Structure 1
Amino acid sequence: MIYLDHNATTPIDEEVKNAMADAFSLFGNPSSGHSIGKAAKAAVDNARKQAADLIGADASEIIFTSGGTEADNLAIIGTAHKHQKGHIITSVIEHPAVLNPVSWLETKGFEVSYLPVNIAGTVNPDDVRKAVRKDTILITVMHSNNETGALQPIREIGRIAREYGITFHSDAAQSVGKIEVKASELTVDMLTIVSHKFYGPKGVGALYIRNGVDVMPIMFGAGHERGIRPGTENVIGIAGLGKACETAGHNMSFRYDHAVKLRDKLFSLLRNALDVRLNGHETLRLPNTLNISIRGVIGNDLVEKLKAGVAFSAGSACHSGTCKPSPVLKAMGLSDEDALSAVRLSVGKDNTLDEILSASELIIACVKEL
């Protein structure tokens, strides 16, 4: 099986596995005052520093969570709870972990502006500025899109948010660990980190909260994680996240170049043999992500036909035999036909050129059969 679905999840790196294996012996509660508890706390503190180092933050600004969905909810609902009412700005292409809590807040009386994107799948900072109101309490725009890999103008949006004194959150689930993301340079107040997107374990994530930014907890218990996220820490998972951050930082340049080489080779092979269109920006996207529409086929049919040989994702959701085009691709202006024919191929650090050649041959042959 050739795995080309690394935006969905990644295999756990061997160094990460080893760090997690070592952490299994650290069974103490990190909040306990005895030596066994302190050993567990030391592992958590080390992982906190590893995560902070990757994004250019202070360790005190890292809050561990159960994953990206919780981190997004904490950032959004925690900010809303602080203000009780107000206006939120987001984009139409956000992950459901952002869109759904924002939509829920609308039912509680908050007002939301959903920003459009252009044909490349990016938000226009001018639209952000135009959407700002006196009662705007939060701007939340993803760092990169999970379907197209489109990079958003986070620095520009961050400057606008800072100018108006508005809290700014960015879901960087797809970016952290793949490309350089430095929180201070982006002028973000909060940033979501997801371990399993860059060769760490599932069930653990983190939220960067800039020192001085006030966020209310959305769960209540003891005073863990600065009182923002209660619950005894998942030491094993956190150790894995920390090691994933460390290895990502050490190997960033190599992984980036490797991904671009394989991604572009795959696109070249498919484009030369099939009628395809690239969805998203040619260069301003994640190094590993290729979203294309292959005219004449339904993406889900292709995924199903190749499920024994190549693992990748379609650009549509199918239930009870009915397929709906991706809202992200539709927001970019694609026709239903092009959106339904879209597939996402996302390469990883362990993919080889031979795999890319084989995958392209299988895809091309399958398309011609369909």
Structure 2
Amino acid sequence: MVQIGNIQLPDFPLLLAPMEDVSDPPFRVVCKANGADLVFTEFISSEGLIRDAIRCRRKLDIFDEERPTGIQLFGGDEARMAMAAKIVDVTQPELLDINFGCPVKGIVAQGAGAGVLKDVSLMVRLTEACVKSTNLPVTVKTRLGWDDATKNIEEVAERLQDVGIKALTIHGRTRCQLYKGEADWSLIAKVKNNPRIHIPVFGNGDINSPQKALEYKNRYGVDGIMIGRAVIGYPWLFREIRHFLQTGEQLPAPGVDERITVCKQQLHKSLQWKGPVAGVYSMRKQYFQYLKGLPGIKDYRSRLVTLTEPDEIINVLDEILLQYNGFEMERTPIELVNYHENCPL
């Protein structure tokens, strides 16, 4: 078992990464149902949360069926991070996560997200302020450093552990890399193998297949992995990885019927959570991945991203199911979505 504060997770847990405009409650429920052991909210601005910005407050919503869930905060001011941590505490997630990894210019310019990587002492103070302001376990997600000359993750890990974090997730790139190039897990392994480190260490970056998950588990010795871009529109990767780790066998690709069923489930949850307008709009970016690999699907996708009535969308999904009934999906490599986080409130 892997322990984060009072949260017990299975051996080598699989975590859903916090992704702005992606990892909302409907998507988290779908990922949890398909094998994710721990999920995280979209990142939430401490400033916006204190101002009672509607969008930020809404991100605190958690469905019971997605738990355990971590709420992720970002910010660059100690007092405001502490105040936001107290607000999060009241909403009763399983843990509070701090974002020191978002590379987006708008966030970095605020001295938040990966912008804090330039000042390790500030990173420590922000973390300690949150730890002291909540009864929840506090975890951190960060990167190797700001650039190649400042890969200070080994120092960062020790100092954050010293002020009370209960787990650390490391994305194997610097801020300057954004999402380019291959993630370097060698420094993640050094953190994990540091005899001073006793908290769980999770690796993040480029996991897109069960085989790669097993390879990285064995090579780098991390306590678990966090997956982001590879599961957008393909939540089945979690169960495929778990099955492969346990049996060494590759599960068949989900068929058309399962893809449509899960797509409908996420649509219904989106409508329930966001309402008929925003719920429809938020699903439009999902259809491409859900239906990828079906020949001649372009016209159907074009209809799905232009329709505004939920019943009409369901009818199109039913048409797709009828049209492709019995079609055998080929297993193809999962491509990492070209994901770019938008700046939240």
Q: Scaled by the length of structure 1, what TM-score is found? A: 0.28
Larger RCO, structure (CA 8 Å, separation 6 or more)? 1
Which one has the largest radius of gyration?
1
Q: Scaled by the length of structure 2, what TM-score is found? A: 0.29
